[in-house]
Amino acid sequence: MPADSDPSVLSTRFSTQDVPRERQLLAWRERVGHVVDVLPDNDQIARGFAGSIDLHAAGGLVFTEARTEAMVLERSIARVSTDTRRDFAFHVYAEGESGHVSGLNVKRSAPGSLRGIVAFDLNQRFRIERPACRVLTMFLPRSVVAVHIDDCDALHGRVVPENAPLARFVFQHFDATARELPTLKRPDAIDAFDAGAQLLLAAFADKPHALHDSRAALQAAVKKQVKRYVETHLHEADLTPTKIVDALGLKRATIYRWFEQEGGLGAYIRHRRLREAADELARFPNLQITDIAFGLGFKSASDFTRAFRRAFDVSPLEMRLRALDLLHAAANDPVMRMHAAHSRGVRGSG
């Protein structure tokens, strides 16, 4: 692969399922030991331990999805003093609860085990007695957190319960990110991570101007959520703005206002369908134009043709003929053939 090419998202997966039972908890301890210590006991080792973790990294941010049985995690002061981890870990408990957290250096009223979001400063000690759960974790560099949180040291151990402002959108965004990451290209993964980071920091921020930042982060994250839904359901005939806001549990008036620049949510859906139709006309020259139209939710061929001409100033048939002419010209152009051969060679060397 050439040095200037765009690398894919770094992804790894680990599960104790394929490890002998008596080694499962110790294998898990080795897997997460670069961040936190797992404190096992002999009974737990003998019983075995079920755990899996998917890790994705892109754009300087790291996102993990872990499913585990109950366990005890600790980051001791000795550990803090001997390693170099200084970033923040935000735990979003998608299933299960946070468990009992102790060992924090600052006084605060502990809410006990709950379903919510917990921030941990890896530059400080902590201990978690955690029940079985599914937890989505985002690691943010200290420099990024410090820009949004004045006293970021005081963030350690703070909890945002699931019913707090913005928390619902954090949960929705992280859950969608976990589902879609395996298929996302790197720019889309970076966008998803950035939106998640903005939402997290807005949820924890306590600055006077944080309300404006929160709204901006919320709008960016929710619009991405809506657009992902549109892409996933683009070929469904009953895809409508009403179906989207109902499926995602969003406020109709707010979403319609946020899509005003695109001409409204209905216009955005129509534009994406027409753009997809243009791509399919070029990619699949043997596919009937009516099949493309009906496959993208248009009620009739005439409705599709009128909408296509308004959007691109050509009919679907003219668009297809132009695309075929360009392909034939490229096939007969020796310079283009040489460039195509070179491109295939470069891709093959990656």
Return the C-alpha torsion angle 160, 163, 165, 168, nearest 10.
100
CATH architecture of the domain formed by 10-232 = Sandwich (2.60)
CATH 2.60.120.10 in the chain is located at 10-232
CATH 1.10.10 in the chain is located at 269-348
Encode 58-92: b = buried (16+ Cβ within 10 Å), e = exposed: beebbbbbbbbbebbbbbeeebbeeeebebbbbbb
Residue 289 binned pLDDT confidence (cut-offs 50, 70, 90): very high
Q: CA 279, CA 323: separation in Å to the nearest integer?
A: 10
Mean pLDDT computed over 4-17: 74
Chain Cα centroid distance, residue 37: 27
Q: Which amino acid is at 62?
A: V
Task: Tell me 58's DSSP state.
Answer: E
pLDDT at 213 over 80: no
pLDDT, tens digit, 9 for 90 and up, residues 24-71: 999 999 999 989 999 988 999 999 999 999 999 988 899 999 999 999
Residue 5 binned pLDDT confidence (cut-offs 50, 70, 90): very low
CATH architecture of the domain formed by 269-348 = Orthogonal Bundle (1.10)
Please report which helix (H) or strand (E) contains residue 55, including its range.
Answer: strand 51-58
pLDDT, tens digit, 9 for 90 and up, residues 86-108: 999 999 999 998 888 887 654 44
Q: CA 144, CA 48: separation in Å to the nearest integer?
A: 39
